[in-house]
């Protein structure tokens, strides 16, 4: 066990520290998103139109407002397994090139409209093979869609860049193939790899072959770990698989104790794993609303992101699934403003954390920080 300093302010000593977040400030501020699922962010109206076009008959309703509400209600079950069942309806309509181009383009446009300047969006190509597309054709379609969406956002005066993460499903056996796709498309906008799906019973070590291949290829990957499952899944993701980042990682808090009584009240002790994660600056892709829906956190106010940010872990803020959580990155920021008093300075901190942690080349990360993010916040913080 190591003893950490007592909780305290992060102490930027900056004029922006006290600027409270408002919905318009949270939306205007340049933001960076590292954990967003393409199949979790469709517009409800698009789901309905694509279902009509493809003959998909499984939707619970054909009214866009009702469908949006249905997704967030169905996803709020308190269990990761139940939450994941809602994806049948989005993946079900993502089976043609036209559908994939449209969904990817609208994703880029919607994120840009929310003030996101850089996003890493992930999806599992193996889930779009129900008709006649090959894995390569799926990836090509989504890449074309992102480029189209970036261009459409630019035409409406907003600049966004999308990096793609290809996901392999942890219960399936295609991870090596998907990892090879990541390497094949690394010069065409695919920046990394991920595994996702139900954690219990499907440890990341089932996919060691894929991770070892990626490491030999000097490629980047993140792993969904420590969401529904505790410290062992985080430990495996880092120490067996070699993940660069942790998808969620919220249960790392189980390795942290905060004394709540006596003379050492407020003293924080980190276990070996939590200390390793903080010392190595392992990025945590935290998704507060999604975690409350799946039961990984009891409420936003009790979400470990408040403590982890105070302890200066490499915290990043993310949406996970905008449709299932009825959320946006600016809304997540507002929730933390309300729960923990996060200010504009905290938004800048978490944004720069995310940009530093992206899978883009270092010089490109730096350029976005120096030329887009810092000037963007300076403009908002100016008197």
Q: Which is nearer to Zn ion, 114 or 320 (CB)?
A: 320
Q: Which is nearer to Zn ion, 50 or 195 (CB)?
A: 195
- Picking from 348, 352, 353, 250, the residue whose alpha carbon sits closest to that of residue 308 is 250
Distance of closest approach, residue 315 Cβ to Zn ion, in angstroms: 16
Residue 119 CB partners (closer than 8 Å, separation 6+) = 32, 33, 34, 36, 108, 111, 160, 161, 162, 163
What strand order describes the sheet that includes 161-169?
31-37, 116-123, 161-169, 190-196, 221-225, 245-248, 284-286, 315-317
Distance of closest approach, residue 320 Cβ to Zn ion, in angstroms: 5
The yes-or-no answer on residue 227 being catalytic is: yes
Six-digit token string for 236: 């495996």
- Judged by the rule CB under 5 A, the positions of this chain that interact with Zn ion are 320
Distance of closest approach, residue 30 Cβ to Zn ion, in angstroms: 23
- Picking from 84, 71, 92, the residue whose alpha carbon sits closest to that of residue 322 is 71
292 and 303 in contact (C-beta within 8 Å)?
Answer: yes
- Picking from 275, 229, 241, the residue whose alpha carbon sits closest to that of residue 255 is 275
* Torsion angle of the four alpha carbons 88, 89, 92, 97, in this order, in degrees rounded to the nearest 10: -130
Q: Which is nearer to Zn ion, 71 or 377 (CB)?
A: 71
Q: Count the alpha carbons within 13 Å of 383 in the hemisphere toward its beta carbon.
A: 2
Distance of closest approach, residue 159 Cβ to Zn ion, in angstroms: 25
Question: Among residues 150, 199, 227, 236, which one is catalytic?
Answer: 227
Output the residue with the shortest Cβ distance to Zn ion: 320
Q: Which is nearer to Zn ion, 96 or 167 (CB)?
A: 167
Burial (0-12, 13-18, 19+ Cβ within 10 Å), 13: exposed
Q: What three-state secondary structure class fits 34?
A: strand
Distance of closest approach, residue 227 Cβ to Zn ion, in angstroms: 8
Q: Which is nearer to Zn ion, 227 or 236 (CB)?
A: 227
Which residue numbers are catalytic?
227
């Amino acid at each position: 066990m190591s003893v950490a300093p007592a909780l305290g302010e992060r102490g930027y000593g900056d004029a922006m520290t006290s600027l409270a977040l408002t919905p318009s400030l949270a939306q205007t501020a340049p933001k960076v998103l590292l954990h967003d699922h393409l199949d979790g962010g469709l517009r409800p109206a698009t789901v309905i139109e694509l279902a009509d076009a493809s003959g998909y008959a499984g939707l619970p309703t054909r009214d866009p407002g009702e469908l949006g509400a249905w997704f967030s209600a169905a996803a709020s079950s308190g269990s990761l397994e139940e939450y994941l069942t809602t994806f049948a309806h989005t993946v079900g309509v993502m089976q043609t090139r036209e559908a994939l181009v449209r969904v990817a383009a609208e994703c880029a446009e919607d994120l840009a409209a929310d003030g996101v300047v850089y996003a890493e969006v992930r999806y599992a190509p193996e889930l779009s093979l129900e008709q006649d597309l090959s894995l390569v054709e799926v990836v090509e379609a989504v890449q074309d869609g992102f480029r189209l969406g970036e261009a459409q956002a630019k035409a409406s005066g907003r600049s966004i860049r999308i990096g793609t993460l290809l996901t392999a499903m942890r219960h399936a056996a295609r991870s090596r193939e998907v990892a090879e796709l990541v390497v094949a498309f690394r010069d065409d906008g695919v920046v990394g790899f991920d595994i996702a799906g139900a954690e219990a019973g499907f440890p990341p070590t089932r996919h060691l072959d894929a991770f070892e291949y990626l490491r030999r290829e000097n490629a980047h990957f993140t792993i969904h770990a420590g969401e529904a499952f505790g410290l062992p899944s985080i430990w495996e993701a880092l120490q067996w698989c070699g993940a660069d980042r942790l998808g969620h990682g919220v249960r790392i808090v189980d390795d942290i104790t905060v004394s709540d009584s006596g003379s050492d009240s407020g003293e924080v002790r980190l276990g070996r794993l939590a200390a390793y994660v903080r010392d190595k600056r392992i990025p945590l892709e935290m998704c507060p609303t999604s975690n409350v829906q799946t039961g990984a956190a009891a409420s936003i106010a009790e979400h470990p992101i408040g403590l982890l940010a105070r302890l200066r872990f490499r915290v990043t803020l993310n949406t996970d699934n905008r449709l299932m959580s009825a959320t946006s990155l600016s809304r997540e920021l507002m929730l933390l403003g309300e729960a923990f008093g996060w200010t504009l300075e905290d938004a800048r901190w978490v944004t720069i954390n995310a940009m530093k942690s992206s899978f883009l080349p270092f010089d490109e990360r730096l350029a976005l920080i120096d030329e887009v993010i810092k000037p963007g916040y300076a403009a908002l913080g100016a008197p």
